[in-house]
């Protein structure tokens, strides 16, 4: 049977979610809100491997929602992830999202210390937003995730959530395994898969649990 053409953005998303719901099958290892986050990631990637690869620490979603209700700052490791996060939802909840990869102070620090800008940008965020409710969305740089783990272990930050979804081959798996060994609330895309779109999708899924887009 020829598929009926659907051109309305709302209908396309609704139909996509219906297909995902049908094909995903039971997820007894996930709560209802965790399943909602998973479906948004699959919607973004068309990759059902995330059914097994996307893991949630205990109360990770609840911790993130509490932070978003309190006007959290979401810090990303790429401008691509930043661009993908819903600005209307952020504004409605009194939250903001930032990326420091183009920050001149970050560039100077990275060069002086011989580290990546992604890692240095995590230090910059920790300094600027000390005492704020923070959500970190890492979709590209494992060096950023590793630095976050260090900052957390040193007691310099206490994030409400770390989204660990860097993609690639070098230090990627190790950074996610280190994250999942911490008591910090986290959502991680295990293995080599991930990306800025995944990090943004997780953020949006959380935002949409609180923000009615209708």
Residue from 15, 35, 43, 98 carrying the catalytic annotation: 43
SS (HEC) of 86-108: CHHHHHHHCCEEEECCCCHHHHH
User: Would you state the structure tokens that stand for residue 148, as one six-digit string?
Assistant: 């976050």
Residue 29 annotated among the catalytic residues of the structure: no
CA separation for the pair 76, 74 (Å, rounded): 7
- CATH of span 53-208: 3.40.50.10230
Tell me, what's the pLDDT at 1? 44
Tell me, what's the pLDDT at 11? 86
Q: Would you write out the chain's pLDDT as a tens digit for each of its 214 residues?
A: 455 565 778 888 889 999 999 999 999 999 999 999 999 999 999 999 999 999 999 999 999 999 999 999 999 999 999 999 999 999 999 999 999 999 999 999 999 999 999 999 999 999 999 889 999 999 999 999 999 999 999 999 999 999 999 999 999 999 999 999 999 999 999 999 999 999 999 999 999 999 987 6
Give the count of alpha carbons within 13 A of 157, CB side only.
28
**DSSP conformation class of 122:** H
User: Would you state the structure tokens that stand for residue 109, as one six-digit string?
Assistant: 């620090």
CA separation for the pair 133, 74 (Å, rounded): 9
CA separation for the pair 45, 153 (Å, rounded): 32
Tell me the whole-structure pTM to 2 decimals. 0.94
Tell me, what's the pLDDT at 4? 57
Number of C-beta neighbours around residue 124 at 10 A: 19
Tell me, what's the pLDDT at 176? 98
Tell me, what's the pLDDT at 9? 80
Per-residue buried b or exposed e for 131-145, using 16+ beta carbons within 10 Å of the residue's own CB: ebbbbbbbbbbbbbb
């Amino acid at each position: 049977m020829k598929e009926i053409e659907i051109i309305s953005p709302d209908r396309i998303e609704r139909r996509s979610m219906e297909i995902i719901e049908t094909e995903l099958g039971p997820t007894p290892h996930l709560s209802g809100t965790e399943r909602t986050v998973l479906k948004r990631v699959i919607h973004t990637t068309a990759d059902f491997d995330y059914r097994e690869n996307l893991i949630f620490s205990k109360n990770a979603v609840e911790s993130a929602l509490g932070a978003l209700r309190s006007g959290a700052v979401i810090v990303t490791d790429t401008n691509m992830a930043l661009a993908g996060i819903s600005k209307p939802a952020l504004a409605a909840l009194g939250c903001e999202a930032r990326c420091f990869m183009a920050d001149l102070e970050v560039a100077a620090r990275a060069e002086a210390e011989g580290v990546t800008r992604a890692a240095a940008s995590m230090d910059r965020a920790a300094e600027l937003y000390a005492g704020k409710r923070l959500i970190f969305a890492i979709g590209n740089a494992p060096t950023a995730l590793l630095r976050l783990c260090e900052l957390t272990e040193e007691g310099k930050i206490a994030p409400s959530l770390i989204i660990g979804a860097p993609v690639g081959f070098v230090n990627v798996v190790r950074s996610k395994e280190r994250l999942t060994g911490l008591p910090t609330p986290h959502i991680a895309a295990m293995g080599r898969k991930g990306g800025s779109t995944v990090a943004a999708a997780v953020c949006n899924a959380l935002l949409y649990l609180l923000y009615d887009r209708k």
